Amino acid sequence: MSRVPRRVDSGAPPDGLTPDEHQVLSAVDGVLDEEELAFVVGMAPDRVAELIDALASKAVVSCEAPPPSDKPKPASKPTGDGIDLSANARKYIDQLYPLLERATHYQLLNVARDATSNEIKH
């Protein structure tokens, strides 16, 4: 079962994080689980799990597996758009949608204005 990482402190990230750790940390919102984060940041789920473990060891995020549930997971509701997303992924996209009109592409990608092409690709 996928964990849902949460930021430990909303302040500036500590020094010494790798670019991949920064990328994953920027997407951690306490709602998306590991698999959804992998989709959002464009990395393999195994790699995201490793990065979350590294961030947890640096006390930047906490992640606890959700308690086991006896209830079956409800099927996602059809939305009429033909896109099959989890409720968490849909919520994340719905939060970003209003920013499309006024945010710069740097803000949407969550990179600095002086980001290198490699940082932007990640």
Determine the pLDDT at residue 40.
Answer: 86
pLDDT tens for each residue of 13-31: 778 889 999 899 888 888 8
Determine the pLDDT at residue 85.
Answer: 79
pLDDT tens for each residue of 75-108: 555 566 777 778 888 887 887 777 777 777 777 7
Q: How far apart are CA 46 and CA 73, in angstroms?
A: 23
**Rounded-to-10 torsion of CA 99, 107, 30, 5:** 150
Q: What is the pTM of this model?
A: 0.53
